[in-house]
Amino acid sequence: MLDSKTQEELKQKLLEEKKRIEENISKTETGKKGTDREYETSFPEIERDQEENADEMEMYESNLAVDESMKKELEKIDAALLRMEKGTYGKCSNCQQEIPVERLRAYPQADTCLGCQK
């Protein structure tokens, strides 16, 4: 079981990472729609030149892949914060064993132990 000091330390890491990711997403997306965290990826105006359009679409596709990855990390962070509220944080979601503190410090949103992750 995690002591309260360690859990608070990990919570702060999660909140900092959440803020960092949300700031990065906001740079490439138009913003939140509704109350859920739904973002719409945007890209600057399409130019009239076909070559510039191709470059613009390539950048858009690249941003979209990165944005999707960041959104998945946000979901994991939110799930970890919810587990903290429920009192189940730090336990493997598969085998219910304690996740080592070292793993949680390295990746605070982890929901499985290394054995179950494999």
What's the pLDDT at 112? Answer: 96
**Cα 78 to Cα 111: distance, rounded to the nearest angstrom:** 12
Full-model pTM: 0.71
User: pLDDT (tens digit, 0 to 9) for every residue of the chain, 118 residues total?
Assistant: 789 999 999 999 999 999 999 988 877 655 444 434 454 555 555 556 666 666 666 666 666 777 888 999 999 999 999 999 999 999 999 999 999 999 999 999 999 999 998 8
Cα 15 to the center of its chain, rounded Å: 11
Distance CA 115, CA 99 (A): 10
Break the chain into its structural domains and give their ranges. Answer: 4-89
Q: How much is the pLDDT for 67?
A: 82
Q: What share of the chain is helix, strand, coil (3-state, %, to 5)?
A: 60, 10, 30
